Structure 1
């Protein structure tokens, strides 16, 4: 996904008007989840990656 993060797997699941996006860092197995409106999938993905980045920097 992003060069500074390395390999990231994104999985999205739709449930009605909501979209759940799980971002998993392949090298460490750390996972972050974001939920948002289904009509904005890229925004939900960006949020999941941002949360993953923050979790890795802890």
Structure 2
């Protein structure tokens, strides 16, 4: 069995190994009265999630998620 790459992409797909250092991907999902913001470190695949109100500004949720991701990566 071959080891999986981050996000389950095949090893021959373009851009898998061309990740910029420190690149972070964000995902937003709003359901009902909550917005979920996931921050994913592109190099390692480490993901953290924060949840806030749908009225929150996107940059606020990004800032909180990024801070949480940096703390998680610093822990190792």
TM-score (norm 1): 0.83
Which portions of structure 1, spanning 4 or more consecutive aligned residues, are displaced by more than 2 angstroms? none
The superposition leaves residues 11-54 of structure 1 with CA deviations (integer Å, 9 ceiling, x where unpaired) of: 00001121100000011111110000111122112111111000
Q: Which has the higher contact order (CA 8 A, sep 6+)?
A: 1
State the aligned residue count: 54
Unaligned 5+ runs, structure 2: 1-20
The correspondence of residues 1-58 of structure 1 with structure 2, limited to 5 A, is: 6-40=22-56, 41-58=58-75
Query: Root-mean-square deviation (CA), in Å?
Result: 1.2
* Structure number, greater radius of gyration: 2
TM-score (norm 2): 0.65
Structure having the larger proportion of residues in strand: 1
Unaligned 5+ runs, structure 1: none
